[in-house]
Amino acid sequence: MSKSLNLFGGTALGTIAVLTMAVNFADRNIAGFPDNPAVMTAIAPPVLSGGLVGAANASTGAGEGTFGLGRPALPEEIAAWDVDVSPDGTGLPVGSGSVEDGEMVFSENCAVCHGEFAEGVGNWPELAGGDGTLANDDPVKTVGSYWPYLSTAWDYIHRSMPYGSAQTLSDDDVYAIVAYILYSNFLVEDDFVLSNENFLEVEMPNANGFIVDDRAESEYPMWRTEPCMENCKDSVEITMRASVLNVTPEDEAAETAEEVIEAAAVASETEAEPEVAAAVAEAEPAADAVDPALVAAGEKVFGKCKACHQVGDGAKNRVGPILNGIVGADIASVDGFKYSKTLEGMDGAWTADSLAAFLEDPRGFAKGTKMSFAGLKSAEDIAAVTAYLASFE
Amino acid sequence: MSDMLKPSRRAFLRGSAAAAAGLTAAGAARANEPDPLITEVQDWAMSFGDGVDATPYGLPIQYESDVVRRNVEWLTADTTSSINFTPIHALDGTITPQGCAFERHHSGAIELRKEDYRLMINGLVDTPLVFTYADLERFPRENHVYFCECAANTGMEWAGAQLNGAQFTHGMIHNMEYTGVSLRTLLGEAGLKAAGDLSDKWVYVEGADASSNGRSIPMDKALDDVLVAFKANGEALRKEHGYPVRLVVPGWEGNLWVKWIRRIEVTANAVESREETSKYTDTLEDGTSRKWTWVMDAKSVVTSPSPQSPITHGAGPLVITGLAWSGHGAITRVDVSKDGGKTWETARLAKPGEKMALTRFYLDTEWNGEDMLLQSRAMDETGYVQPTKAQLREVRGENSIYHNNCIQTWHVKPNGEAENVEVS
């Protein structure tokens, strides 16, 4: 045991090796690409001289003198977890997806945050556009304008999207979504089909836009100097103040206290309100004339909610609560679901009006709600989805 | 409820301004009236306080309820993929308590039981292995104190002075004592002969949460000082810091410190994951971007006085204090300027600097009650001197987002208030 530890060397040696590595990066940049030293086109792993890996290489084998802890990983286990995809296509499963299919899958699973055209909603990332903006004051970094490798998009969508329902997409759906994102960036035509076979043929516009960290060359020599201690400047003027922008959060302790006091006052003033709300809730289902067309339209709108909510037979709480019988139910009353404090603290029921207000602007209606949904812009969509939800008891 | 009666920061500042105005002369003021806190018997001197077990796991006393992490809501779309900030303006020493150490999640802080925890090592190894939490506890352990700084710390300040408080400008940092197993040991257990020449190999590390937050780390670093840690400051990692097991990558950007780490794969190349291409890459003025900018360069900030920690005692003796750190090794010196960088004096380090750990500095000084433009400037053992914002902008422009280690300026006014400013 101590043998293998000794062979790998101590920390003091390690620090030297890391510094050497940084210098080697710079050397490689300059020597390898004299015409265009700033741009590296290939993946260049660090070239190392000696250091820890040298010591490890010299070892007769790192498997020696082990502790005998852990157990061999089974092939099925490795297959389940080792799903990363590399720029050379390593890890890509067999499959394909078209732009056309991608548009639908994207609309259902991604558009809630990323917009129907991958343009981004609110503060959520935009995935398309930004071509030629990287040198601007405000660069727009999207899959099209910035991402150097297509494998990154496939890997990330497959592993971590949709947000809140990761790892629920089929491989073909992932191909389709990636194809649609390429299309949204005008990088492929509308009849394009992406597959594991043509994956590496797609050219990413910013593939050559990256250099390996060059601080050791471009910065450190300038800033490893004896610093000035006296008469370092002739004059000093304030050129900018944070108070001008005024974007710093206020003292939350004081603010929260004020909010609590205000909320308490409001609550005592309007104690009658829950009854009013309940009365409205009762009145709602009485308007029994269900419009099948509206319910059908609502089912379509509900596609935007499906990533997080289930409704109907066998529905379960997922990222969001089960929505059976939600219209008319008390706010935050679904068993076994952990609501935000805000919703939990709200009195009243989900009436057509309160649902509409919530769906139009979730965080405006319930500041702090965990529902990460930008909101439905159209009143028709809201009416439709409400009718659809009301059709489930 | 009683903390609701605390004066707001504004009221506090008004009070301090009055105090500053009233106290023009340095030295102890004479008391005109006896202090009732001394002359009258107080409740706490007569009756009981809490017994043991009142709080089986203690929290700070109610009077410190403002020393908490804070979020800047407009920065991100949602709190599950977001960041908050350590209240560095209110802390002293160097160790950050876990409960107020900044959080950065890409898919929220998950709850993963030790019993359900598995760590897989696969790829170019002799025997792919699976470890349980109990397995990890049977390897030789190490203890180290390291800072963890998000690459985006101070990132909102590239284009100008923006956020008014050290917590917000520099609070994406914490410093803890970690207990864990060296990654070198675990890789050795799986065996690296299969990897052949290690000099161009990598490890790809990923978490168990929905974001996975995969990152590629060159083998040289992996075999150097990377820890697979399960304790911080003596106790289990808090949920938000990766319970039960996280990666610790000393001196390198926080995004590499994968929480809830579930898999370590030895690879021939960098995976070029989302977090190492579309994010955590630094765009320069010409639109080219740096990648693999892992090391956090030397940096420092005055934590007090600062906008959230104004001077409340008027002219006279003043402790100026702050933090310094470097991903290249130990801090060797910190200089402080009161005039925006015209003249500097060397501060006192509370202890000699430690490698890749926070260093506390003090300048024990006399304040004459006049305006100050307070700055601090760190130097590390490689001789690197923390640059000004102008120096950084000259090389990188204003769009880098990450790795802003510029010298910070606080304008301290005669009433003791401080503001985040930029100076020529």
pLDDT the model gives residue A38: 37
pLDDT the model gives residue A375: 78
**Local confidence band at A313 (pLDDT 50, 70, 90 cut-offs):** confident
Min Cα distance B25 → chain A (Å) is 28
**Local confidence band at A289 (pLDDT 50, 70, 90 cut-offs):** low
A50 near B CB under 8 A: no
**Local confidence band at B2 (pLDDT 50, 70, 90 cut-offs):** very low
Spatial separation of the C-alpha atoms in residues B192 and A62, rounded to whole Å: 5
Q: What is the pTM of this model?
A: 0.77
Ordered domains of chain B (ranges, CATH) = 98-161+172-290 (3.90.420.10), 299-421 (2.60.40.650)
More confident residue, A283 or B130: B130
β pairing state of B348-349 and A193-195: unpaired
Element (H, E) at B70: strand B70-71
pLDDT in tens, A83-124: 999 999 999 999 999 999 999 999 999 998 999 999 998 889
pLDDT in tens, B79-100: 888 999 999 999 999 999 999 9
Residues in chain A closer than 8 A to B270 (CB atoms): 43, 45
% of residues, chain B, pLDDT over 70:
93
Token duo for residue A16: 């030297």
pLDDT the model gives residue A372: 63
Q: What is the mean pLDDT of residues B152-171?
A: 96
pLDDT the model gives residue B183: 98
Q: What is the mean pLDDT of residues A291-306?
A: 82
A41 near B CB under 8 A: no
pLDDT in tens, A342-371: 888 888 889 888 888 899 888 788 876 767
A45 to B285: CB separation less than 8 angstroms, yes or no: no
**Local confidence band at A284 (pLDDT 50, 70, 90 cut-offs):** very low
β pairing state of B104-105 and B118-123: unpaired
The yes-or-no verdict on residue B101 having pLDDT over 60 is: yes
Q: What is the mean pLDDT of residues B164-191?
A: 98
Residues in chain B closer than 8 A to A15 (CB atoms): 224-225, 329, 355
Query: Mean pLDDT in chain B?
Result: 93
pLDDT the model gives residue A14: 34
Q: Can the peptide bond before residue B244 be classed as cis, meaning omega within 30 degrees of 0? A: yes
- CB-based burial of residue B423 (10 Å sphere; 0-12 exposed, 13-18 middle, 19+ buried)? buried
The yes-or-no verdict on residue A33 having pLDDT over 60 is: no
Min Cα distance A126 → chain B (Å) is 12
Distances (CA, A) of A179 to A16, A187, A205, B81: 46, 9, 15, 26
A81 to B224: CB separation less than 8 angstroms, yes or no: no
Q: What is the mean pLDDT of residues B271-288?
A: 97
Ordered domains of chain A (ranges, CATH) = 2-58 (no CATH), 82-201 (1.10.760.10), 272-390 (1.10.760.10)
Nearest to A37 by CA among A220, A219, A218: A218
Q: What is the mean pLDDT of residues B332-356?
A: 98
Residues in chain A: 393
pLDDT in tens, B205-251: 999 999 999 999 999 999 999 999 999 999 999 999 999 999 999 99
Nearest to B369 by CA among B310, B313, B309, B315: B315
Q: What is the mean pLDDT of residues B343-364?
A: 98
% of residues, chain A, pLDDT over 90:
43
B210 to A71: CB separation less than 8 angstroms, yes or no: no
**Local confidence band at B137 (pLDDT 50, 70, 90 cut-offs):** very high
**DSSP per-residue letters across B232-247:** ETTEEPPGGGTTT-EE
The set of residues, in sequence order, having a beta carbon less than 8 Å from that of B291 and lying 6+ positions away, is A210, A211, A212, A213, B276, B277, B281, B282
pLDDT the model gives residue B7: 40
Query: Mean pLDDT in chain A?
Result: 78
Q: How far, in whole angstroms, is CA A192 from its chain's centroid?
A: 26
Q: What is the mean pLDDT of residues A57-65?
A: 44
pLDDT the model gives residue A292: 85
Distances (CA, A) of B133 to A2, B118, B126: 22, 7, 22
pLDDT the model gives residue A366: 84
pLDDT the model gives residue A379: 87
pLDDT the model gives residue B258: 98
Q: Helix A379-390 crosses helix A352-360 at what angle (to 10 degrees)?
A: 130
pLDDT the model gives residue A21: 31
Q: What is the mean pLDDT of residues B34-59?
A: 95
Which amino acid is located at B356 in the chain?
M
Q: What is the mean pLDDT of residues A67-86?
A: 97
ipTM of the complex: 0.91
Q: What is the mean pLDDT of residues B319-336?
A: 98
A84 to B342: CB separation less than 8 angstroms, yes or no: no
Token duo for residue B268: 């021939």
The yes-or-no verdict on residue A274 having pLDDT over 50 is: no
**Local confidence band at A36 (pLDDT 50, 70, 90 cut-offs):** very low
More confident residue, A296 or B332: B332
Residues in chain A closer than 8 A to B7 (CB atoms): 254
A348 near B CB under 8 A: no
